[in-house]
Amino acid sequence: MLNKNVSGLLNTQINKEFYSAYLYLDFSVYYEEIGLDGFANWYRIQAQEERDHAMLFLQYLQNNGEKVTLGAIDRPDKELKDKMDPLKAAAEHERYVTGLIHAIYEAAYDVKDFRTMQFLDWFVKEQGEEEKNAEDMIKKMELFGDDAKGLYMLNSEMAARSYSAPSLTLE
């Protein structure tokens, strides 16, 4: 049985991950509407990743005999006016999610919940990658986004992204 606080934070994280998926789906829609289908693809895949993260948290709770409580998913509230807006919002959001993961890890550490800490290790690493990807996309847009040929190449790079679900063994 998990510590009540740790279990509550994990339950909350399910909702936060589904919100992340919803947010990235909103970014995908925005990019599709302005004709950047590669960026739309990138964020559609990002939304899939976030849904899978939510499911990993859900499965972990269930595998540990904990009750899962699903909450309402907030509507994304970012106003997108420029092709850079989703990129900056995504970087900010990934830093926020990293803070959430660290808070769960800290709560698990405080009660010596080593199993949950081990489960979260993958997410800690993943968040490092997510933050770097978000920052790299901003840098690339700053470098190439104002040049039509550069933007075309960048959009083509984003269109090439494919998805494979994470493979974690959960206890």
Q: How far is CA 113 from the centre of its chain?
A: 24
The model's pLDDT over 97-126, given as tens digits with 9 standing for 90+, comes to 999 999 999 999 999 999 999 999 999 999
pTM for this predicted structure = 0.93
Whether 39 maps to a domain, the answer reads yes
Please count the other Cβ atoms lying within 10 Å of the Cβ belonging to residue 137.
22
Please provide residue 164's backbone torsions phi and psi, each rounded to the nearest 5 degrees: -135, 130
Query: H-helix or E-strand containing 144?
Result: helix 114-144
- For residue 40, the enclosing domain spans 4-70+79-159
The model's pLDDT over 43-55, given as tens digits with 9 standing for 90+, comes to 999 999 999 999 9
* pLDDT beyond 80 at 170: no
The model's pLDDT over 121-145, given as tens digits with 9 standing for 90+, comes to 999 999 999 999 999 999 999 999 9
Q: What is the dihedral of CA 75, 43, 100, 137, to 10 degrees?
A: -130
**Confidence band (pLDDT; 50, 70, 90) for 171?**
low
Whether 165 maps to a domain, the answer reads no
Q: What angle do CA 14, 16, 22 make, to 5 degrees?
A: 105
Whether 171 maps to a domain, the answer reads no
pLDDT at 164: 80
Q: What is the CATH number of the domain that holds 24?
A: 1.20.1260.10
pLDDT at 8: 97
Q: How many CA atoms lie within 13 Å of 82's alpha carbon, on the beta-carbon side?
A: 10
Query: Is the four-CA dihedral 46, 96, 102, 128 of positive or negative sign?
Result: positive
Whether the CB-CB separation of 116 and 171 falls below 8 Å is answered with: no
Question: Please, where are the H alpha helices in 34-74?
Answer: 37-63
Whether 17 maps to a domain, the answer reads yes
* CB burial of residue 47 (10 Å; 0-12, 13-18, 19+): buried
Whether 60 maps to a domain, the answer reads yes
Domain count across the chain: 1
**Confidence band (pLDDT; 50, 70, 90) for 163?**
confident
